[in-house]
Structure 1
Amino acid sequence: MRILQMSFSAGMLILAIFVIRSLAINRLPKKTFVALWGIVLLRLLVPITIPVKINIGDTLGGRILVENVDKTANALDLNYVVSGLMQGQMETSPQAANIFSTLYVVWVIGAIILLLFFLVSYIRSYRKLQEALPLEDNELLNAWLHENQLRRTIKLRVSDRISTPITYGIFSPKIVLPKMMCLTDNKQIEYVMSHELIHIKRFDNLWKIVSIIAVCVHWFNPLVWVMYVLFNRDLEISCDEEVISILGENNKEAYALALINLAEKRASISLFYNGFGKNSIQERIVSIMKYKKTKVLGFGCAIILVLAASIVFAVPTLSTGESSMPLITTSTNAIYAKLDVPSIEEITLNGYPVNEFGETYGPDIYDSILPEPDLILAEGVNGVKGYVKASDLSPEVKSIEEALAYNKQHKGGRYIPLYLQDGKTIIGEFYISN
């Protein structure tokens, strides 16, 4: 369930970024989109709990509607006679269990197959690059290397197995140049080496691996594949932009020409490594030729976008109770017209509402600050929704032995009333299974 929630929320973020990118790719700093995709990757891979309304604890006749299943039952709550309802351990129907089991197996198999595909591609590419020979007798390259050394030692190699410059390695980066490349062209060398150096400084190879992990985990989500393609493309476009900002706008045409001359058909090697060659070459050239120094307004918009995306990533997604309260039959219209379901926003801001008898009611959001409401939103027999009393769910027992005895007494399960928010008007039944 958590994987689906993460994938869904990230998918919404991907759609928003895709629209913004389509409208403003040449109006905002290209680093903006790299940062936004980075936030998406975190959303896809970091299992932060999102209190999206879900239904858990399917029983033979009813289920509690909760906002978060991460709360652990208190040790004393072994007397919670619904066999671990608070821990989401209630029985599900055999059909639902089979469906979820099948989907889980399909997801695991798909992830493993995709992971093996990328792993085999990596091994083949790595072997090719390992055949590259050290490049040590070029004065121009040696001088550049001396001027641009980082804490991580950069090594230069040359290979006849590639047709475009490639950078690989994270902690010990290596720049591999094609043997066919003219190593006496000062300008071309400057463009290529500056481009690859930026990839190394930004750990772009590491981000490529992270994006591949995200694809393997969320392979079933087509929007994640869209993110993967655009993320890799924006890494290159952002790198091009930084090269132009360093070398000056008067080098745009020459840099674009160098890009065209070196661009070849993308090889499988680009799955893991950064290259100067083709990666949506047309979009890159358009971006280069439209490059202008970013103004204050552009920076401001970029900051706002990144902050907004960060908030979407970090802040729980709130949903109202009404949104998941469909009308089951026409006979329930009158009931739902009287049923009051407070939204999560209202509960978060004002606490649970109180009925005329002094009882709190609403969906149990399992907040560490707010106590459990007296009346908990639930779905009863035949899909009727209402409230069950917390006291009915958990009879008072003083020891584990009493709880076990109670369970034994009600071995076949039991029915409890389903109320309106007043806690008096019975509208249905809720079945608790052992």
Structure 2
Amino acid sequence: MLGSMCYWIFNMSIVASFMGLLVLLIRRIRSIPRRVLVFLWAIPFLRMCFPLGINSKYSLMSLISRFTMRTVTVYHPTDDISMSFSNVLRQADSYSPVTFKDVLQRNVFGIAGLIWLIGAISILLVLITLYVATMREIRDASLLSGNVYLSSKVGSPAVYGILRPRIILPESYADHDLKYILRHEQTHIRRVDNLWRLLGFLAAAIHWFNPLTWVFLKAFLSDLELACDESAVAAYSAEERKDYATALLDSAKSRSLFVSAFGGAKVRTRIENVLSYKKMTAISTAGFTILILAIMYTLLTNAG
């Protein structure tokens, strides 16, 4: 049972790694808004968490297989099939029941599965512990209005919770920044960003053994914060964006335990992104929508 699970988790990780590397490559195109990149990041993380089984000849795995497939002439019959790059990709992109060739192979995957399970549970426990510690910090928060609370235990504003999100402000917040602070945190709630974060953390816990998973998670959390800033300032004038950037600087002097461990983009990067923000036109919005759908179709389908 654990051996089979480990085998398929490893295969899912191979496929998701190709997807994540492609998103990192696309991420280098500076003209693409972070709001677009967040949708693209959903692809590798969904691949890590769910064994998708829709086949397509236009899948990335199909295209790679075509370029790497070679014809091999067999002079003597044999039961052994050599591993090729194409075979590995096709095997990693399918989710049929596992049959191990011998006891040794089954035992190796069984031990690997046990190690994987211990690692995954340990990371989940760490995440839960950090979350509980943070929630304890804010349990005595006093209601300001609506879903906005004040707490002396937090150093910067943040949204806590998914189903019933609350905005927690530090007691030392500046009144002149309140408009922009609430705008940013309410944008997080509207975009359901905490649910996106949960997906990223879940993928990291499942694929903890893959170093690329942590690279993807860091980039994803950074893009998530930048995308929230872009949405928040979309209707702002240049002067209002400057005031928003100042509020970012004021509110980032310290961070809570959970946010410090898994925070998003650096403040300098966020400020630069806000000040250089350009509103998307109807044509660019339509173009990016088509791009996202095309990439998602190519990456979320299996080799057909």
- TM-score, normalising length from structure 1? 0.57
Gaps of 5+ in 2: 1-6, 56-60, 66-77
Paired with 2:16 and 2:290, the residues of 1 have a C-alpha distance of 19
Change in 2 beyond 3 A, CA 1:200/1:271: farther
Given candidates 155, 162, 167, the residue that maps to 2:147 is 155
Paired with 1:230 and 1:273, the residues of 2 have a C-alpha distance of 11
Instruction: Name the SS of the counterpart of 1:134 in structure 2.
Output: strand
Paired with 1:182 and 1:266, the residues of 2 have a C-alpha distance of 16
Contact 2:120 2:208 in 1 (8 A): yes
Moved more, 168-177 or 119-128: 168-177
Cross-structure match for 1:23: 29
Residues 251-274 of structure 1, C-alpha deviations (whole Å, 9 max, x = no match): 121111111111124443227998
Cross-structure match for 2:136: 127
Cross-structure match for 2:245: 256
Paired with 1:313 and 1:271, the residues of 2 have a C-alpha distance of 32
Contact 2:8 2:95 in 1 (8 A): no
Instruction: Name the SS of the counterpart of 1:62 in structure 2.
Output: coil
Q: CA deviation at 1:70?
A: 5.5
Greater RCO (CA < 8 Å, at least 6 residues apart): 2
Contact 2:154 2:170 in 1 (8 A): yes
Cross-structure match for 1:338: none
Residues 225-269 of structure 1, C-alpha deviations (whole Å, 9 max, x = no match): 112112111121111111211233331211111111111244432
Cross-structure match for 2:167: 175
Spell out the pairing of 1:290-309 with structure 2 (5 A cutoff). 290-296=276-282, 298-309=284-295
Change in 2 beyond 3 A, CA 1:211/1:4: same
Cross-structure match for 1:14: 20
Residues 374-414 of structure 1, C-alpha deviations (whole Å, 9 max, x = no match): xxxxxxxxxxxxxxxxxxxxxxxxxxxxxxxxxxxxxxxxx
Given candidates 292, 297, 303, the residue that maps to 1:311 is 297
Contact 2:160 2:166 in 1 (8 A): yes
Paired with 2:173 and 2:292, the residues of 1 have a C-alpha distance of 39
Contact 2:155 2:256 in 1 (8 A): no
Cross-structure match for 1:48: 52
Change in 2 beyond 3 A, CA 1:88/1:288: closer
Instruction: Name the SS of the counterpart of 1:23 in structure 2.
Output: coil
Contact 1:168 1:174 in 2 (8 A): yes
| Paired residue total | 270
Change in 2 beyond 3 A, CA 1:8/1:88: closer
Change in 2 beyond 3 A, CA 1:131/1:62: farther
- 1:62 maps to amino acid: D
Residues 203-241 of structure 1, C-alpha deviations (whole Å, 9 max, x = no match): 111211121111100111122111211211112111111
Paired with 2:47 and 2:23, the residues of 1 have a C-alpha distance of 13
- State the superposition RMSD in angstroms: 2.7
Q: CA deviation at 1:191?
A: 0.6
Q: CA deviation at 1:194?
A: 0.8
Residues 262-306 of structure 1, C-alpha deviations (whole Å, 9 max, x = no match): 1124443227998xxx73112111111111112455435522431
Paired with 1:88 and 1:182, the residues of 2 have a C-alpha distance of 59
Contact 2:52 2:301 in 1 (8 A): no
Cross-structure match for 1:206: 195
- 1:308 maps to amino acid: A
Q: Flag the structure with higher strand content.
A: 1
Residues 340-367 of structure 1, C-alpha deviations (whole Å, 9 max, x = no match): xxxxxxxxxxxxxxxxxxxxxxxxxxxx
Instruction: Name the SS of the counterpart of 2:188 in structure 1.
Output: helix
Larger Cα-atom Rg: 1
Contact 1:249 1:292 in 2 (8 A): no
Q: Flag the structure with higher helix content.
A: 2
- 1:305 maps to amino acid: L
Paired with 1:206 and 1:113, the residues of 2 have a C-alpha distance of 21
